[in-house]
Amino acid sequence: MVLLSGRLVVASHNQGKVREIAALLAPLGVEAISAGALGLPEPEETEATFIGNAALKARAAAEGSGLPALADDSGLEVHALDSAPGVLSARWAGPSRDFGLAMQRVWRELEAVGAQDRSARFVCALALATPEGAVRVFEGDVHGHIVWPPRGDKGFGYDPVFQPEGFDRTFGEMSHDEKLPLTHRARAFEKLLAALR
């Protein structure tokens, strides 16, 4: 498997996600380039799992760029909603990626089922692919619960409604530097780096 060095494509067009991944790669001296900056199309996410979609995106970016590629597929799973939105997390935000609407939908559906249980988790699957087609995958998660109304304007996605266990603030209320080591993405990265050592 390729070692992380030189240039690596981050197979995402989500700038918040690209920024987090670039920050996690920075200590390794890796130059992270987004798939969007290279003009690579976003493949349709047709898999039923985070790991399946991450591998699909990493392979597509590695083949399209001729460089190693790292893809993340991540999302929010709400226990009382049978783990929805899950792999459909971004699609709940619609074509305009309006996560304000997506957060409202989560809350509406929790109210519709009369759920007292607000437990949730963020899940991240990372896939590292070579242009030759080799892929390795790693998964991390962080547990917490859904709060309403949304709190904070930092972060991205569902961060303003997710309060991680052991904290009294949402990810949306935390600075980038405070939030990053607590995230599902950081936990998946720990596994990836351990495997590469």
Catalytic sites, residue numbers: 73
Side-chain half-sphere CA neighbours of 2 within 13 A: 21
Q: Is the CB of residue 67 less than 8 Å from the CB of residue 7?
A: yes
Placement of tokens 């305009």 in the chain: 96
Q: Is the CB of residue 90 less than 8 Å from the CB of residue 75?
A: yes
Beta strands in 30-188 (DSSP E): 31-34, 69-78, 84-85, 119-129, 135-146, 162-164
